[in-house]
Each structure stands twice: as structure tokens, then as C-alpha cells.
Structure 1
Amino acid sequence: MNLHEIDLNLLVVFHRLLRERRVSRVAEALGLSQPAVSNALRRLRGLLGDELFLRTPGGMEPTPYALQLAGPVAQALDTLREALNVRASFEAATSERCFTLAMSDVGETYFLPVLVDALAQAAPRVTLQCVPVADASLRDDMASGRVDLALGLLPQLQAGFFQQTLFRQHYVALMRAGHPLATRAQITATQYRQASHVRVVSTGTGHGLVDAALERLGVVRRVRLTVPHYVALGHVLGGSDLIATVPERFADRVTEPFGLVARPLTLKLPASHIAQLWHAQLHRDPGHQWLRALVATHFGAPETA
């Protein structure tokens, strides 16, 4: 027999009749009418070529073939029930799920220390895996469920994905504590033009909006060094008189460890909106909902959390 020939509901009736042995009880347990249960049994008899149950004064007695089927059918239904309910709940304290997050190096610097500590407290067996947002396959990986969540300023994911803005941040000038401009309360446009800069080209993110804004303002930087990531800035700035234009929350993470200071700019640069983004495939997944709530709680503005 081919599986497409059989209605799963017939096996549910069969399994229940093995337990109850009376059509009336099966009908009550499954919320069906007695004729509907009798009709299901009739259809199953025709498909399997066996009476399956015989009427006796004590109820419906299973035939030898029905008894032979009893174990495998019960096991199959239990397996299917478990498979369908696998996402019905998520227990953070005992889950061993691994979540894959996409973020840039600046995102790793900002998000991961807090996330790792939060997971240690609330979900000690849950693990994280990080992948770069610059991967060309990111959209497909999120659509397939291989990547759970993306964090950052990611214009390439604006269309077709759910997103929740976590916070809004400005760009600041980052430099060593002994830099000549470190004594200033803020950096003016003239001082900014005259300084020597490190330019960060963060592929796969929207932080390039700084370059576009400077071009619109007619501000030309004296760029002495261009790097593809933020990760080296602490070492570079700590040992030179270069400055870098960076998101303020990244600056908060690296000023103390590297002896740096951050100063606001008088230039009218746009703020960046940092969000968490996910695909519809995982929108209703309880574990994923828990993770998104955790991120919103620890990184979102009060109205987001």
C-alpha cells in the first residue's frame, strides 16, 4: 500500500479503538459522531483488507492483524506527535539549542559580551555560533533557517525580512587619550578636516552612510589608513595620532581597554538604526521568540524591550 492512499485520521481512530473498544467512547474522545467513527473504520477495513475489529458483547475485539498493527501504529503516531510538537515549547533553562547569529566585527564587540553573560544566567546549555554579515549567502541562509538572526545596520535585509529596531546611535570621533584633540569638548568641522583619519570600510553593513554624508557636506578627510574591519582600531588608535569615525556604542566598548576617548562631532552626520532581523520561517518559533525577546531586553530602548 502507498501512504498517499491512507488518511492519517483513520489511524488515529484505529489507535483509539484499540484502547476504548467501543465506538461511542472513541467518538466522544475524538469529538466525532458515532457514524463518523463507523465510517472511518469501514474505510480502513477496505484499505487494509481486514475486518480489524469484530463486534462482541464485551465491545470491539481486534483481529490478529489489528493486534499486529497496534504496536507500529502507536509508535508511528507518537513519533509524528513529537515531531509536530518539537517547536511547541522552549525551556531556556534546559535547552541545548545552538543559535546562529550574523553580525559584523563591531557587532561582535558590542553584542557578544552581554549575550554570552545573559545566556550563562538564563540558558546555560544554549550555545551561539557567529557568521559574518558580509557573506553573499546570508539572505538564503536566513531563508533556509541556517542563520537565525542578524544584528546591525543591514540595508541588504530591509526587504522581505522581519525587523525590530533596537536603538539609534550617533557617530563620534575616537582617538587616544593623549591626542591633541582629546582636550576638546567636541570636534568641529575644521578640526575634523585637519586631522589624520583611519577609514573603516565595513562590507555588508550600512556604516558606509558616513562616507556618503561627508561627501554631501563637502568634507574631505585626510585618510592615512583604510581598514576593512573595526577590530584593529583599538590598537591602531592607541599607538598613533589618527582618529576614526565610529558608532558611539562601539566607542563605549573600546575606550577603557585601549586608553581611548570619544568626542562628539559638530558635523551633521546621520544616526544609524541598529536592528535585529529574521526570516518569516522562524517568526513563530518559540525558541526564536525567546531569543529575540532576550536581545530586545538587553539592547533595546525601553519601548523596544
Structure 2
Amino acid sequence: MNPSEFDLNLFRVFLTVYRYQSITVAAEVLQLTQPGVSGALKRLQSQLGEKLFVRDGRGIAPTHLAHEIARQIEPALDTIETTISSVQDFSLHGKRRFVVYAPEPVMLVLLPKIEADDSLGNREIVLYPTLASEEALFDRLNLRQADLAIDFAQFSSPSYFSEQFFTDQICVIASHSHPRIQGSITSEQYYQEKHVTLKLRREDVFLADYFTEEHLKGRKVSVECDSLLALMALVASSESIGMVSLSIAKLFSERLGIQILNVPFRSLPINYMLLTHNREQNSKANCWLREKLLSYVSELQRQ
């Protein structure tokens, strides 16, 4: 068959099925019916005269030819989608709902800024808690179920674009009425006191251990929790100490009655990044969203 007679839309269907190796998911992404996706694949296979997918258990697996076709056409189709997105009109007069996945500290920083922003017009920015799995986070961006993700992890996938969001750091907190800790804390005091700890779900490690250069010794853990706000409330109402991000400690120190203390170890910065799929990197809507979020944290960068 003459190449000019090919229906290029069939390649878009093929590439979506190839990415997810699922006709069901591909149909959801493309907003088509499953029979419609299956029919498009059959037409493409008929035109090529070769099988592109074979049964693999309850699912499907790409053939060698499918791998070769995907390798060659995926960059071209991504370029086309990016070009179209970049020239599409984006106006504050139309309604648009943006979905952003973010960790708890970032949500606590952003929400007051979003609610106080009178310039959003008909645009709505909705925050969702970040996912425990990196793969699940990528899926949300791939499926266009999220516009952006914010994370401190370093992603290296060539299909995703990332840029610096803001840098935070960790600090030690203690109740204002703590009987032994006032104004500062030594490493000896740190190990002598009881601790309220927080474990990072995806990394399966305590926050304190993840953001310090030194290997921390065992601590006397009084409570282990999975929320920074819960950690701060527990520290404020007890003699236990804890470790949180500095931006959040500053937001709640006065209301909760907690001291903010320098970490008595060599700490590592918390580098938050904005993450989106490559096809959205130059789209006017996504650029607007990234610039808007960056404007919210500009004050933190100057502190």
C-alpha cells in the first residue's frame, strides 16, 4: 500500500495501546470504545500485513515489529502533539480545571495562596496528595488525569520534563514549654529526648534519615505518624521532639506553640521539582500553571 494512503490516526491508536499494553486503558485515554480501539488495530494490522500484538496471559504483548514501529513514530507523534498544544489558544476567560499532585508540605504552602488569588478568573487549581508509587504518578500524567506533579524525587525518564520549584530544609521542633530544650539543641540532647517520627511512604525511610548527610543512630520513638500536621500537634502537646520541613514549621509555629531549632547535624536540602509530560512542556496552559505556582513560592525563595 502507498504510504500516503495510510490513516495516520491508526498509528495514534496503536501507540496508545503499545504504551499501556491494554486495549481497555487505551480506550479510556483516547475516549473511544474498546471495540473502536480493537477495530482500529485490526485495520492497521491488515494494512501492514503483520501482527502487532499477541495474547499474553490475560493481556497482550507487542511483537518485534510493534517495538520497531513505536521506536520510530513515538518521537514524531509527541512532537506533533506538543506543537499543537503550544499554539492552541489559552485564555483566562474560559473555564479550566488543573489537577496537581503534591506532597503534604507543598499542599499546606500552596492552598492559602491559591484561595487568596483573585486573578485566577475561571481557572481552578485542585491539589491531590502525591502517590506512593512513582509508576502510578507517571500514569496520572500519561493518562492526562493530572497536569502537574510536585515531588522532591529526582526523575530521569526521557518522557517527562521537570524544573526547579523551590528549595526547603529540615528543622527540629519542640514545644515552647519543653522543660529541657530551649532555643537550641545539641546532638547529645537530640538522642536523649523522645521523638515523634514521620516515615516517607515511597522511600520507606524516616524523614530525618533521608535529609541528613550523617548516619543517624537509633532514637527513642514515642509515636510514628504519617502526617506532618499530626507530628507537629503531637510535639506541641508533649515533651517529644520532631523533625519537619522549615516552611511548614514557620507556618504553624505560632499557632501550635512550637520552637524551631537548627538541626544538630549536616542536613540535605529538600529540592522540590515540577514534573509534567514532555507533550505539555510548551503548552500555553501548562506554562501558565507552572508560572502561577512558581509565583506562589517566590517569597519562600527569598527567605
Calculate the TM-score normalised by the size of structure 2: 0.64
Q: Name 2:252's counterpart in structure 1.
A: 254
Q: Name 1:271's counterpart in structure 2.
A: 269
Q: Name 2:228's counterpart in structure 1.
A: 230
1:50-84 deviations in whole A, cap 9, x for unaligned? xxxxxxxxxxxxxxxxxxxxxxxxxxxxxxxxxx6
1:255-292 deviations in whole A, cap 9, x for unaligned? 12212221112211212111211111211211110010
Change (3 A) 1:207 1:122: farther
- Are the equivalent residues in 2 in contact too, given 1:152–1:276 (CA < 8 A)? yes
Which protein shows a greater Rg?
A: 1
Q: Name 2:91's counterpart in structure 1.
A: 91
Alpha-carbon shift at residue 194 of structure 1 (Å):
0.8
Does residue 1:128 correspond to 2:96, yes or no?
no
SS in 1 for 2:185: coil
Q: How does 1:77-116 map to 2 (within 5 A)?
A: 88-92=88-92, 94-116=93-115
In structure 1, what is the Cα distance between the partners aligned to 2:105 and 2:197? 14
Change (3 A) 1:147 1:203: same
In structure 2, what is the Cα distance between the partners aligned to 1:205 and 1:127? 31
1:122-168 deviations in whole A, cap 9, x for unaligned? 1132122222212432111112221111123134x343322221222
- Are the equivalent residues in 1 in contact too, given 2:198–2:207 (CA < 8 A)? no
Does residue 1:154 correspond to 2:153, yes or no?
yes
- Are the equivalent residues in 1 in contact too, given 2:165–2:271 (CA < 8 A)? yes
Gaps of 5+ in 2: 8-83
SS in 2 for 1:226: strand
- Are the equivalent residues in 2 in contact too, given 1:145–1:281 (CA < 8 A)? no
| Structure 2 residue corresponding to 1:288, chosen from 286, 289, 293 | 286
In structure 2, what is the Cα distance between the partners aligned to 1:223 and 1:109? 25
Gaps of 5+ in 1: 8-83
In structure 2, what is the Cα distance between the partners aligned to 1:104 and 1:6? 45
- One-letter amino acid of the structure 2 residue matched with residue 122 of structure 1: S
| Percent of aligned positions that are identical | 19
In structure 1, what is the Cα distance between the partners aligned to 2:272 and 2:205? 11
Alpha-carbon shift at residue 101 of structure 1 (Å):
0.6
Q: How does 1:63-78 map to 2 (within 5 A)?
A: none
Q: How does 1:102-251 map to 2 (within 5 A)?
A: 102-118=101-117, 121-136=118-133, 137-155=136-154, 157-160=155-158, 161-184=160-183, 186-204=184-202, 208=206, 210-212=208-210, 216-251=214-249
- Are the equivalent residues in 2 in contact too, given 1:175–1:262 (CA < 8 A)? yes
- Are the equivalent residues in 2 in contact too, given 1:148–1:278 (CA < 8 A)? yes
In structure 2, what is the Cα distance between the partners aligned to 1:193 and 1:142? 42
- Are the equivalent residues in 2 in contact too, given 1:154–1:206 (CA < 8 A)? no
- Are the equivalent residues in 1 in contact too, given 2:175–2:257 (CA < 8 A)? yes
1:167-204 deviations in whole A, cap 9, x for unaligned? 222210112211135522x2211111111111101323
In structure 2, what is the Cα distance between the partners aligned to 1:132 and 1:201? 15
Change (3 A) 1:87 1:192: same
Alpha-carbon shift at residue 90 of structure 1 (Å):
1.6
SS in 2 for 1:291: helix
Q: Name 2:69's counterpart in structure 1.
A: none
Calculate the TM-score normalised by the size of structure 1: 0.64
In structure 1, what is the Cα distance between the partners aligned to 2:269 and 2:137? 25
Q: Name 1:74's counterpart in structure 2.
A: none
- Are the equivalent residues in 2 in contact too, given 1:200–1:227 (CA < 8 A)? yes
Change (3 A) 1:139 1:252: same
Alpha-carbon shift at residue 207 of structure 1 (Å):
7.7
- Are the equivalent residues in 1 in contact too, given 2:99–2:146 (CA < 8 A)? yes
- Are the equivalent residues in 2 in contact too, given 1:198–1:225 (CA < 8 A)? yes
Change (3 A) 1:222 1:128: same
- Are the equivalent residues in 2 in contact too, given 1:133–1:204 (CA < 8 A)? no
